[in-house]
Amino acid sequence: MLELTIDEPDRLVKVAHALSTSTRIGIIKLLLAKPNLNVIEIAAALDIPISTAATNVKVLEEAELILTELQPASRGAMKVCSRNFDDVRMILNPIAFYQNQSKMVEVEMPIGHFIQFDIFPTCGMAGGSGMLFPEDEPDNFYHPDSRTAEIIWLRKGWVEYRFPSKIPPGAKVKSLEFSLEICSEAPNYNNDWPSEITAWVNDVEIGSWISPGDFGDHRGKLNPPWWNDSSTQYGLLKTWAIEESRSTVDNEQCSEITLRELHLNQKPYMTFRIGLKPDAKHQGGMNLFGKSFGDYAQGIMMRMQYE
C-alpha cells in the first residue's frame, strides 16, 4: 500500500496527477488482469497510439505507481510494465489519521507458523537458504523446521493460522483484514493458470479470489540467489477484509459475511485459513510467500480496527 499525507505535497500532487485521467486508470486496470505488459500491448488493448501509451506509462512510472523493466526484443529492447501498489491511501488530515492508528491491532504472522493443515501433493516449502524438505511429502509439514518456511506451495488443501484477537474491554471491532502475497501453483510456472483461492476466519468462509496464474515472467524481488529462475517467482498482494456489512477482496465484495458472524469475542484468538475448496471450479493450487520470497517483504498481516 502507498500512503501519502498532505505533509508531502509534491509527491501527493504527482500521484494525484498520475491518477487523473481515464487512460492511466485503464493502464493500471490492465496490469491488474495481466501483471506484465509492454507498451505496444498496452496501446493495442486500449486502442490508443503507441506514443500516447508511452507518455502515460512515463507519468505512472514517475509517480512510482508502476514499475518498468527493459527486456530484450527482436529489435533492441522493450519496456515491460507492472503494478507497484494495489492500494493508494491519501491522508488529508494526518493528525486525525495518526490518532486513529492508535486504535489498530496489527500482527504479522510468519507463513511457517501455521497450526493446522490439510495438504496434498504437489507440495513443499523452502527457506531463505534452501529447500527445507524433499518435495511432495505432506508429513514434513509437522516438522518443527517448517516454522522457518518462507515459501509454501500446495496443489490441494489449506493451511491455518491463529491470531490474537484481544482488544480493550468495551471496544467494538469495526473492521478486520488479512493481507498476504499469493498465486496459483503450476509445474515450474504458468502465468495463465487460474486457481480459486478461499479464505476462512473462525471456520466461516469469507470469500474467494481467482488467481490468474503462477507467476514467473520476472524474478521475484526478494528471492534468494539459490532459487531457480524456472520456478514460481512472485505473487500478488491480496487483502481479504470483513466489515460490519460485507466482506471484500481488495475492496470488491466477495460475500455478505459480516463481523457479527465471526464471533470474535468468544475466544482470545481467531483462526485464519487460506487454501482451496475441494469443489472449486479452478483447481490451480496455491503458493504462499513470506518475507524472503516474492515481491512483498511481509508474512500474513492481520489488521483489526476498533473503537
Buried b / exposed e along 75-94 (16+ C-beta atoms within 10 A)? eeeebbbbbbbbebeebeee
pLDDT of residue 70: 81
- Please state, as a whole number, how many other Cβ atoms lie within 10 Å of the Cβ of residue 99: 10
CA 123/CA 224 separation, integer angstroms = 20
Query: What is the sign, positive or negative, of the torsion defined by CA atoms of 287, 290, 293, 295?
Result: positive
| Average pLDDT of the residues in 183-206 | 97
User: Can you tell me which residue has the cell 503462477?
Assistant: 214
Q: Tens of pLDDT along 205-252?
A: 999 999 999 999 999 999 999 999 999 999 999 999 999 999 999 999
pLDDT of residue 32: 87
Q: Tens of pLDDT along 123-175?
A: 999 999 999 999 999 999 999 999 999 999 999 999 999 999 888 777 889 99
Is residue 100's pLDDT more than 90? no
| Residue 47: C-alpha distances to residues 20, 55, 305 (Å) | 19, 15, 43
Q: What is the pTM of this model?
A: 0.69
Q: Does residue 290 contact residue 151 with C-beta atoms inside 8 Å?
A: yes
Q: E strands of 129-203, at which residues? A: 130-131, 151-164, 173-183, 195-201
What is the maximum alpha-carbon separation in the chain? 66
pLDDT winner (highest mean) among 9-23, 34-48, 58-72, 179-193: 179-193
Q: Does residue 56 contact residue 68 with C-beta atoms inside 8 Å?
A: no
Q: E strands of the chain, at which residues? A: 2-5, 37-38, 66-72, 77-83, 88-91, 104-109, 116-127, 130-131, 151-164, 173-183, 195-201, 204-211, 236-242, 247-249, 252-255, 269-275, 286-289, 300-306
Q: What percent of the chain has pLDDT over 90?
A: 78
**Domains of the chain: residue spans and CATH:** 2-89 (1.10.10.10), 103-306 (2.60.120.260)
Q: What are phi and psi of 149, to 5 degrees?
A: -60, 140
| Residue 203: C-alpha distances to residues 72, 123, 223 (Å) | 48, 23, 32
pLDDT of residue 25: 94
